[in-house]
Amino acid sequence: MSVKPTIEFFPVDNGDMVLITTANSKRILIDCNYRQSADIDVKEILRERLVRDNLDRLYLDVFVSTHPDLDHVRGFSEIFHTGSPDDWNLASDKVIINEIWSSPRVFRRASRKPINGGTGMNELCQDAKDLNKEAKRRAKLFKDSGYLFTQKDGDGIVILTEDEDGKTEGFEQIVAKLYSKFVSLNSGLNDNSIDALLLGPADKQDVPTDEDELCKNDSSVILNICIKDEYGFSHQFLTGGDAGVKCWELLNDRMVSECSTPLLSYDVLQTPHHCSWRSISDDSESNSENPKVNESAKGALSYANSNAMIVTSSRPFGEKTPPSKLAKSEYEDIVSAADGEFLMVSDQTDSENKGTSLVITFSCGSKSSGTGKVSFANSENPNAVNKSGRNIYA
């Protein structure tokens, strides 16, 4: 039975942890930032959202890794089972991931040692190493078997983008090609209510930076995810990890040159890099007297559908950036033109004034009608408030 699909942005400060629940009740988590010292226990929130399989294991249908920065993989090994699913045990009761979507291109660029006196920002944390090891285990299982749909739950893998050095040869059935939709072709998800268009990381020949100097952020996975509601209407969610200004500039220039800008349209946009100025500008916010926006990079993030929402997953605005007030102003310009809204996960509170998730619910109707398009919730049973003809849960 179909349900109303949702996107839930967990409150993880300057980090990302986003749970998509489809109309067919599949659950897809994008990134992870579980901090044991945090006031809000997102590990328990996630576990409450999941169900158990016939072996009594909590499971997630898909885990998407945009890139292996600490604030996007933290807690991976604490929350999720790694290794053969046959080795799962109730004592640890970790969550089984049926299928992982990740890019070896991202991990290769991220794992390089610093060069030219670099700061070491590309070094992998332990959670990232564990995730990379698990992805490699699953890829090897596929290559050994050669059959996508014979992989059992806990062994699935989709490789996001072909590897430039030919290392994905033999894995073609599970390789998602850049600028293509891939869920029905390469994934074992088996859900016709969702698809995803892969828009990044870019090929190295397209990136105007020396390949050896590309960092994790430059190589973030960018997806435009199509989510169908229970009545079959489509809604677009554009997300791109910590992708920097050159990534968005390159993407927009390519889409404009190919007359393909509709591929960048969205109903919900997650601001890249926690509303960082450096995702839409070449200029340093702190070291430039008059920092300018990169119009092409901003352009990639400007194809907002009517009543679109732009969501920032970050700490509250303050002296430290991100989030950037300059970037916020640019995003507010974008949503203003679309009669939309700019939302911050850090602004969400429950009835006791404690921080909580931001939930966007898709239901019944065309985006142009403005009726029942999207609602947000910050509790399981929110009170509806009508706002500009739309039901917005606050």
CATH code (residue 246): 3.60.15.10
Q: Is the pLDDT of residue 286 over 90?
A: no
379, part of any domain: yes
Is residue 153 within 8 A of residue 53, CB to CB? The reply is yes
Q: Distance between CA 96 and CA 53 in Å, rounded?
A: 10
pLDDT of residue 38: 85
pLDDT confidence tier of residue 207, bands split at 50, 70 and 90: low
Q: In total, how many domains does the chain have?
A: 1
* Least confident segment among 93-107, 189-203, 214-228, 327-341: 214-228
290 or 264: which leads in pLDDT: 264
How large is the average pLDDT for residues 86-104? 97
pLDDT of residue 385: 28
163 or 68: which leads in pLDDT: 68
Structure tokens at 140: 């090897």
Is residue 312 within 8 A of residue 343, CB to CB? The reply is yes
Amino acid in the structure at residue 42? V
* Least confident segment among 35-44, 130-139, 250-259: 35-44
Q: Is the pLDDT of residue 281 over 90?
A: yes
How large is the average pLDDT for residues 319-337? 96
1, part of any domain: no
pLDDT of residue 299: 98
111, part of any domain: yes
Q: Distance between CA 111 and CA 244 in Å, rounded?
A: 18
Average pLDDT, the chain: 86
Q: Distance between CA 345 and CA 173 in Å, rounded?
A: 37
User: What is the chain's alpha carbon radius of gyration, rounded to the nearest angstrom?
Assistant: 20
Is residue 229 within 8 A of residue 235, CB to CB? The reply is yes
How large is the average pLDDT for residues 219-246? 95
Going 315 to 43 to 228 to 174, the CA torsion angle's sign is: positive
The pTM of this model reads: 0.89
Query: Domain containing 303: what range?
Result: 6-393
pLDDT of residue 394: 27
Convert the pLDDT of each residue in 120-140 to its tens digit.
Answer: 456 789 999 999 999 999 999
**HSE (side-chain half, CA atoms, 13 Å) at 257:** 7
How large is the average pLDDT for residues 252-262? 98
pLDDT confidence tier of residue 105, bands split at 50, 70 and 90: confident
269, part of any domain: yes
Cα–Cα–Cα angle for 69, 73, 75, nearest 5°? Answer: 140
pLDDT of residue 10: 96
